[in-house]
Amino acid sequence: MKMKTKRNKKYKPRQVSINPLSEIFGGMSDAHQPHLQRLLVVNSLCFQAIVQGRGTRDDWDKLVGAINIGNVMCEMGIGDEFREAMIAGRDALCEVGKRYMRNSRFVFTGDELMAMNEAMACHTAQLENVRAIDIDRASNEVIRRIKHGLNTTNVRAELAKEAA
């Protein structure tokens, strides 16, 4: 009589989907509402910290990420009317980054603050009117662009251009 051979690999159970609707339809349900609220609070706290003069590099990086995602969402056709505000916000953050490299402190001027207020308001409107999968796609596109150096601006490189 022939014996059954023993299995060579360890048993790994399949992943069980907790919320199949959000995985299939990309957040058309209320599943991404807590994530959206957390994201809006983090963006607001980072912006508030920089405006009050106690902002850190992490706060600035989060704002840059928010504006980058907003720009990509504009390119995807989500809130395309906000493109000018997003570009103005990006330029304001670039100037703040340059100032940080010189003074070791994140500080907005009046015009930069107005541009960032408008850009953050537009980004909030974008986030409130899209599905979670659209935010994930925009985030993945930002990561891809940074990884491959596509359509990116570096604060150090901008300072070197000004010095030359």
What pLDDT score does 13 carry? 82
What would the DSSP string read from start to end of 138-157?
HHHHHHHHHHHT-S---HHH
Q: What is the mean pLDDT of residues 45-63?
A: 95
Every domain of the chain and the residues it spans? 33-163
What pLDDT score does 50 carry? 95
Per-residue pLDDT reduced to its tens digit, 129-140: 998 889 989 999
Considering only 1-5, 10-14, 19-23, 28-32, which range has the smallest mean pLDDT? 28-32
Per-residue pLDDT reduced to its tens digit, 105-156: 999 999 999 999 999 999 999 999 998 889 989 999 999 999 998 888 888 8
What pLDDT score does 154 carry? 87
What pLDDT score does 63 carry? 96
Q: What is the mean pLDDT of residues 99-110?
A: 92
CB 78 within 8 A of CB 130: yes
What pLDDT score does 11 carry? 81
In terms of pTM, does the model score above 0.85?
no
Residue 28 has pLDDT above 50, yes or no: no
Q: Compute the Cα dihedral for 143, 147, 149, 150 and give only its sign.
A: negative
Q: What is the mean pLDDT of residues 91-110?
A: 93
Residue 21 has pLDDT above 80, yes or no: no
Per-residue burial over 62-96, b = 16 or more CB atoms within 10 Å of its CB, e = otherwise:
bbbbbbbbbbbbbeeebbeebeebbbbbbbbbbbb
What pLDDT score does 117 carry? 96
What pLDDT score does 2 carry? 74
